Structure 1
Amino acid sequence: MIASLRRLAFAFAALAFLAPAARAQDLHDLTLGRADAPVTIVEYSSYTCPHCADFHQENRPWLIKTFVETGRARLVLMDYPLDGLAMAAAMLVHSVPADTAPVLSETLFAEQASWATAQNPRQALAGIAGLAGMSPAQVDAAFADKALFQKLLDRRAEAYEKQGIDSTPTLTINGTKIAANAPREELTRAIETAEAAAKKK
């Protein structure tokens, strides 16, 4: 873990000068891939969900290599916090500069087993956020940002009401819901079906 956190610190340092600090109430667009890709894959995940952490170690990297990097799809991460701690983690991700947010997000999933089960999880979260350049005062401000909390809550409610999202990790592929940890053959078929339908339009 120490080695990975050191790598994280270097990554954050490299990104620190790229973007101004975002207003806390802004929601970052955590998207990979071409905007004009024929298929849009939306991932609904919670930072405290072990199955989501598994997805970020297994199927997500495969999706990125196979479909995103080849221009066939773009991948959008949408927060779907299942508990207060997951909400706190999401609030930190959306309180750092936009270019830092994806690195912090991936780190929270990669290190989930350490911070989510820590004796003081919020303190552990604050430590990781510190590597992202957040001061203790900025971390406290993020946790206390009621407007940001409400925006994330509203986004979750919208996902439930409009997409029927009720568990994590879940994907929608051009609007069609599928389990994120489904077998790769099943995911491939779903993406290829969406791709073929998009080409007919």
Structure 2
Amino acid sequence: MKAKTYILGLIAVAALAGMFWYGDWSRSKVDNSQTASIIDQNGEQDENTGQSNEDNSANGIKVAASEANGDIILGSPEAPVTMVEYSSYLCGHCVNFHLNNLPTLIEKYVQTGKLKIIPRLVSPVELSAAVLCANEQDSFYEFNEYLFSHIQDLDSVDDVKSIVGKLGLNQEIFNACHGDNRYDDQIKDWFNKADADGVAGTPTFFINGEKIVGNQPLDVFESVIEKYSIQ
């Protein structure tokens, strides 16, 4: 099946310390030298975090997702600390963050009601649409983490659809959603918000407005979250 094509004006192709931002999807656009060290060499240490690169795709964890103002909110909407995450499935450092840092942040802060995460997936857009379709079946977090953990295994949109059965979702409902353009405006809004926030590459985070560029060591995220948790 031919992937949908989106024209979103001028979509930057940004390369910032290995961070990639694309408007459409092709395996040739993945920085294989980077993602291979993250995904393929399971059990080895990642230079940025010093943690094991195992496949952490959700690990059976359920994270509630709600919607507000065109955004997905992971965790309690009442959490005192908000982390906005701009990321791309084709960004090696984004994969790194989701495999190594995010599981700890989910367990330590999201599931304890201290932190809510607002993910904005700026590329590739057909995968962003897919995870929004999964959200219709209350599986945003599981689908999102599966994509980040298995991005090198996905050659086409049909491969993305195969995830549906693996996660126990309704294939017919997902296909109907992903076959139309119902989330075009929401994805365009994420691009517009990235531009307004001065995002030059992925991943970029804003924790209660404080900007963090790149996948920093875990203690950087923890220190900023803790700072705003006690205010």
Q: TM-score, normalised by structure 2?
A: 0.61
> Who is 1:14 aligned against?
none
> Who is 1:21 aligned against?
none
Deviation sequence 1:141-184 (CA, Å, 0-9, x none): 444533412320122212221x2222112211001110351122
Greater relative contact order structure (CA < 8 Å, 6+ sep): 1
Q: How does 1:36-55 map to 2 (within 5 A)?
A: 36-55=78-97
Mapped pair 1:167 → 2:206 = no
Of all paired residues, the percent bearing the same amino acid is 28
Supply the distance in 2 between the matched residues of 1:175 and 1:98 (Cα, whole angstroms).
30
Supply the distance in 2 between the matched residues of 1:138 and 1:58 (Cα, whole angstroms).
29
> Who is 1:111 aligned against?
150
Deviation sequence 1:18-37 (CA, Å, 0-9, x none): xxxxxxxxx672412x3222
Deviation at 1:131, TM superposition (A): 3.7
1:94–1:190 CA distance, 2 compared to 1 (3 A): same
Mapped pair 1:192 → 2:231 = no
> Who is 1:123 aligned against?
158
Q: Secondary structure at the match of 2:127?
A: helix
User: Does the 8 A contact of 1:40 with 1:73 survive in 2?
Assistant: yes
1:93–1:30 CA distance, 2 compared to 1 (3 A): farther
In structure 2, list runs of 5 or more residues that go unmatched.
Answer: 1-56, 61-69
For 1:186, the aligned partner's letter is V
> Who is 2:4 aligned against?
none
Q: How does 1:128-143 map to 2 (within 5 A)?
A: 128-132=163-167, 133-135=169-171, 138-139=174-175, 141-143=176-178
Greater helix fraction, Structure 1 or Structure 2: 1
Supply the distance in 2 between the matched residues of 1:106 and 1:158 (Cα, whole angstroms).
22
Mapped pair 1:158 → 2:196 = no
CA RMSD of aligned residues (A): 3.1
Deviation at 1:138, TM superposition (A): 4.8
For 2:118, the aligned partner's letter is V
